Amino acid sequence: MKCRKCPALVTNRNKIVFGAGNIRAQLVFVGEAPGRDEDLQGIPFVGRAGQLLTKIIEAMGMTRREVFICNVLKCRPPQNRPPAPDEVIHCRPYLKEQLRLIAPKIIVALGNHACQALLSTDKGISQLRGSLQEYEGIPVMCTYHPAYLLRNPSEKRKVWEDMKKVIQLLNTPDV
């Protein structure tokens, strides 16, 4: 993949961070965009927020290799600024295709940008958090981004409540 659709991201990036994990995963985590560490390594969620996400996945009884992890944007925005609306539009076909190919049982959307990109809504995370939404027939659990949890550790409890619902859904036999 040598995408050049977003001029500001092409000149700034070291590596495209497409995604990592099991392409047959039942569970996909979608974050916002790569940060510095991710851009250098080409792997999503390997910095501080990523280490917390790894802990969350492990607390759910899984490993990073079992799930799939990706972001709305595949390239790091300069200075970690939020994704620009046109960048989300440019990058959405990649996310869409990833989710179509993996066809997970459930998606966890981490933070505002992931929720809004997947659900095409302008509702904020505080409104969406904890509720099961839907993307192309796949349930989406909206929850807080691990970077937010690093700043607000007392909110971890809510994310754990959300992850318990995700585990329950994963354990529900297909009908």
Residue 23: HSE in the Cβ half-sphere, 13 Å Cα cutoff: 7
Q: Which of 19, 34, 77, 83 binds ligand URA (CB under 6 A)?
A: 34
State yes or no: residue 31 binds ligand URA (CB under 6 A).
yes
> By Cβ distance, which residue is nearest to ligand URA?
31
d(CA 96, CA 92): 6
- For the segment 102-161, give every residue that binds ligand URA (CB under 6 A): 147
Q: Which of 21, 35, 77, 83 binds ligand URA (CB under 6 A)?
A: 35
**Angstrom distances, CA of residue 70 to CA of 53, 88, 91, 121, 155:** 12, 14, 12, 20, 23
Q: Which of 9, 32, 115, 128 binds ligand URA (CB under 6 A)?
A: 32
The least distance separating ligand URA from the CB of residue 69, rounded to whole angstroms, comes to 7
Stretch that binds ligand URA, among 6-14, 28-36, 125-133, 151-159 (CB under 6 A): 28-36
> Which residue type does 107 have?
I
d(CA 100, CA 136): 9
State yes or no: residue 21 binds ligand URA (CB under 6 A).
no
Spatial CA neighbour of 67 closest among 110, 131, 36, 35: 110
State yes or no: residue 71 binds ligand URA (CB under 6 A).
yes
State yes or no: residue 33 binds ligand URA (CB under 6 A).
yes
Evaluate whether 39 touches 76 at the Cβ level (below 8 Å).
Answer: yes
